[in-house]
Amino acid sequence: MTPYHSHIQVRFAHCDLAGIVFYPRYIEMFNNLVEDWCHATGVPYAEIHEGRGTGLPVVHLEVDFAAPSRMGEILSATLSVRAVGATSLTLEIVLQGPDGAERVRAQMVVVLVDMESKLPIPIPDAVRAKLG
């Protein structure tokens, strides 16, 4: 699948007293990026959660912080699908600063679950086809 590209503005709410992104805020940025990516692939996040009675929780997350990001910067974000399993997706997210230098790299695994049972369910073929 072609990587998904977007931009993220570093806001005051993202930053700590040192004026740099407080590391948990990156996780929120990742989640927002996944929501935007789902919508761009034709499977809106709201439809996953409300329309289908399913969810897409993160079950594994690894993050490497290479350099700080500062309030007012615009980060370039790239989300790539690294693997598609029966019930899971392995995603890679890279955020780069305005200078093109890598700021943060993450690998996350999300699993499609039934919201009632909270158990993994197979990714539908129609969704799988949209992933490439």
Q: What is the pLDDT of residues 28-73, one digit of tens each?
A: 999 999 999 999 998 888 888 887 789 999 999 999 999 999 999 9
Q: CA-CA distance, 62 to 114, in Å (whole number)?
A: 24
Give the contacts of 127 (CB within 8 A, at least 6 positions apart): 43
Structural domain boundaries, residue 12: 4-130
pLDDT at 60: 98
Q: What are phi and psi of 68, to 5 degrees?
A: -75, 155
The CATH number given to whatever domain includes residue 80 is 3.10.129.10
> Tell me: the pLDDT tens digits for 65-123?
999 999 999 999 999 999 999 999 999 999 999 999 999 999 999 999 999 999 999 99
pLDDT above 70 for 124: yes
Q: Is the dihedral of CA 114, 119, 122, 123 positive or negative?
A: positive
The number of domains in the chain is: 1
